[in-house]
Chains A and B, each alone.
Chain A
Amino acid sequence: MSVGAAKLLILIPAFNEEGAVGGVVEAVNSAVPGAPVLVVDDCSRDATVMVARLAGAEVLALPHHLGLGGCVQAGYKLAYELGYEFVIRVDGDGQHDARDIPKVFEALRSSGCEMVIGSRYVNGSGGGTSLVRAAGILFFRMVLRPILGKPVRDPTSGFVGVNRSALAVFSRSFPLEYPEIEALVVLQRRRFRFVEVPCRMLPRRSGRSTITPMKSIYYIVHVLLGVFVNVLKYERRIPKESRRS
């Protein structure tokens, strides 16, 4: 797949992923040869930076731990400064199948949408998702439906592609802790569009999820609040008349 002229960057946020990030970078390199790969290291305590470099990735190393949103936004800022037209984010734990990147990229280029979400629920059952996470996704689908004005099947997916317009927005404003769902609202409030394409989810290459039942409750409350704050922020800035038009 030719990406040279299209200025595509593959962004991999990583925190303590020394066991997985090398394989992820190699998988990305073979799926989209020629596309630069940027690993954003969120101040890992292990050898993530070294493993990523050895695998052939560029590394943006944060001086201290910022959390997922701050980590991804740093990558978006750099990509925007370097003039990239498209950025596709793939998680560093290996759960996203790099062979789906061309599909996301093609949708980004051809759909005219500012964001493309790699969804495990389009043409699929979302196999491999825990019961708690599936319930959370179902809940947020219902919350987001009236806000976004269209259904979203996999709002928590971190397999996301954005074009330069979305990159400009995210460089300035990006949710910091649990960014996926709030980012959808941020874009929708600016009348940007998104589309979902079917993607496969793989088991983690190493380590385990840090989401515990207590954190799940915190996650739901935090994201709900973030969603409504983003809605209110926009309401204050944009007059009703211009929104109707």
Chain B
Amino acid sequence: MDRLLNVMTGLSALLILLVLASVRRARIRVEYSVAWLIGAAALLVLSRARGLLNAIAGWLGVPYPPLALLLIVGCVFVLIFYRFSVIISQLKDDNIALAQRVAILEYHIQSLKDQAAGC
């Protein structure tokens, strides 16, 4: 049990460092790092606070506390993935509308140039 919780602690800390490094290098925007940092910090705290983890496991009815932690990890990542799916969909819609608008504006500009050349 201790080994599994230690591994979770290590992975959570690694995730926090990775996200912070990515933010520092501007590879992840700050607003998109928040979900990862909150999720990783929560896992770090739960993997270290044995009493809290036991209480949550008891409340969930899970006999083995690390299993409750894995369940929470799964839920956190599902929520993060869902949030990013929503963001990606919105970005894709915006991107398509923008590309169409650029093409239409270029078409209008070309038409005006052609008209000017004709005059």
Contacts and interface: CB of A to CB of B under 8 A. Distances in A.
Interface of A: 58, 60-64, 66, 70, 73-74, 77-78, 81, 176
A74 B104 contact: yes
A60 B99 contact: no
28 contacts: A58-B107, A60-B103, A60-B107, A61-B103, A61-B106, A61-B107, A62-B99, A62-B100, A62-B103, A63-B99, A63-B102, A63-B103, A64-B99, A66-B96, A66-B99, A66-B100, A70-B99, A70-B100, A73-B96, A73-B100, A74-B99, A74-B100, A74-B103, A77-B100, A77-B104, A78-B104, A78-B107, A176-B96
B9 to A, nearest CB: 41
Contacts of A62: 99-100, 103
Nearest to A38: B107
Nearest to A61: B103
Nearest to A58: B107
Contacts, number: 32
Most buried by A among B96, B100, B102, B107: B100
Contacts of B96: 66, 70, 73, 176
The binding surface of chain B is classed by DSSP as helix
Contacts of A74: 99-100, 103-104
Contacts of B102: 63
Nearest to B106: A61
B6 to A, nearest CB: 43
Nearest to B103: A62
Contacts of A66: 96, 99-100
Given A73-B96, A73-B100, A74-B103, 15 more contacts: A58-B107, A61-B103, A61-B106, A62-B99, A62-B100, A63-B103, A64-B99, A66-B96, A66-B99, A66-B100, A70-B96, A70-B99, A74-B104, A78-B104, A176-B96
A58 B106 CA distance: 12
Interface string B99-114: 1101110110000000
A77 B103 CA distance: 11
Contacts of A78: 104, 107
Contacts of A81: 104
B66 to A, nearest CB: 37
Most buried by B among A73, A74, A81: A74
A73 B96 CA distance: 10
Nearest to B96: A70
A78 B107 CA distance: 9
Nearest to A171: B100
A81 B105 CA distance: 11
A73 to B, nearest CB: 7
A64 B102 CA distance: 10
Contacts of B107: 58, 60-61, 78
